[in-house]
Structure 1
Amino acid sequence: MSHKILVSACLLGRPVRYNGSAKTLAHAALDAWQREGRVVAICPELSGGFSVPRPAAEIAQSQSGDAVLAGAAHVIDEYGADVSALFIAGAQAALDLAREHDCRFALLIDGSPSCGSRFIYDGTFSGHKFAGEGVTAALLRANGIEVFADWEIDVLAARLAQIDSPY
């Protein structure tokens, strides 16, 4: 069985990041998954209602995505606006798309207040990172989807090979 993988659109070369850039991930496994029709692309921030470009945003006070989902933390843009609702809407859109395509796995760009799965920025807009996850990564994990950071693609490939193997 070939499991589908929800993938951050910026990793596929789409210029959807806050600054209008992509973070293209060149990897043989990703190329193969695309050829096999296993990749389901999403940018949660665009799905949540943001445009490109948009102000940079971070989760305030070194909190994580699960705290935003619980209403205990906020995503703030660089001008001080609370943009939590758009991040939550984008996370829900990602979850809905994953369910629609029966994605059990997600490959997301790390560091993002949406897609970060191992680290995010601390909310001070100073470039400081800490161990945490974005709003989309938190919602996907809470709903049983295995989330991998872009730099963990080899780990995801091994996981897929393990479950796709007939032996």
Structure 2
Amino acid sequence: MQNKILVSACLMGHAVRYDGRAKPLLHSAIETWQAEGRLVTICPEMSAGMPVPRPPAEIGNGATGEDVLAGTARVVELTGRDVTEEFLQAAMNAVALARQAGCRYALLIDGSPSCGSGFIYDGTFSGRKQAGNGVTAAALKAAGVEVFSDHEIERLIDRIAQ
């Protein structure tokens, strides 16, 4: 049995991002994995009932997804609305789906306060990036799923080949 890969729905061309867009990742490996039935698609935020489009959200005060999971940081929309509970639910949904489907790996869109794994935004809504994980990426890593950003697809290919 081949290992399954949890993948951000926006990378698969679904218009589910906060701005109502997709961000398709066009790569032959995606096509191969899809044909093999290895991809399990999720938009964590939509799984938690968040609408599309929705206001942009960031983890506040330069914190990370791990901090949100620990209860020491919040996720806030540009409007000021606290959406921490929705992001925590989204992360739990992603972990549950990964476990149910047998996903050993995750390929997630970088920069998102949910799916970011290489970088996230610093919580100031100024476009400044910082190293860190979003809430879902942090939860998946804590659950033992190996997380790769969309910029790391070659590394994921190599990892799967091992």
TM-score by length of 1: 0.96
Aligned residue for 1:40, secondary structure, equals strand
What are structure 2's unaligned runs of at least 5 residues?
Answer: none
1:48 is displaced (CA, Å) by 1.3
Q: Does 1:37 align with 2:33?
A: no
Match of 1:165 in 2: none
1:98 is displaced (CA, Å) by 0.2
Match of 1:133 in 2: 133
Match of 1:95 in 2: 95
Cα displacement string for residues 18-63 of structure 1 (whole angstroms, at most 9, x for unaligned residues): 0100010000001100000000000001011201000100000010
Letter in 2 for 1:111: G
Within 5 A, what are the aligned runs for 1:20-99? 20-99=20-99
CA RMSD of aligned residues (A): 0.5
Within 5 A, what are the aligned runs for 1:96-135? 96-135=96-135
Give the whole-Å Cα distance in 2 for the aligned partners of 1:153 and 1:118.
Answer: 12
Within 5 A, what are the aligned runs for 1:3-14? 3-14=3-14
TM-score by length of 2: 0.99
1:2 is displaced (CA, Å) by 1.0
1:143 is displaced (CA, Å) by 0.8
Give the whole-Å Cα distance in 2 for the aligned partners of 1:42 and 1:106.
Answer: 10
Give the whole-Å Cα distance in 2 for the aligned partners of 1:90 and 1:35.
Answer: 27
Give the whole-Å Cα distance in 1 for the aligned partners of 2:121 and 2:48.
Answer: 20
Letter in 1 for 2:32: A
Cα displacement string for residues 64-117 of structure 1 (whole angstroms, at most 9, x for unaligned residues): 001001110000000111100000000000000000001010000000000000
Give the whole-Å Cα distance in 2 for the aligned partners of 1:110 and 1:19.
Answer: 15
Letter in 2 for 1:66: E
Aligned residue for 1:125, secondary structure, equals coil
Give the whole-Å Cα distance in 2 for the aligned partners of 1:27 and 1:144.
Answer: 25
Identity among equivalent positions (%) equals 60
Matched residue count: 162
What are structure 1's unaligned runs of at least 5 residues?
Answer: 163-167
Match of 1:159 in 2: 159
Give the whole-Å Cα distance in 2 for the aligned partners of 1:40 and 1:88.
Answer: 20
Give the whole-Å Cα distance in 1 for the aligned partners of 2:34 and 2:154.
Answer: 16
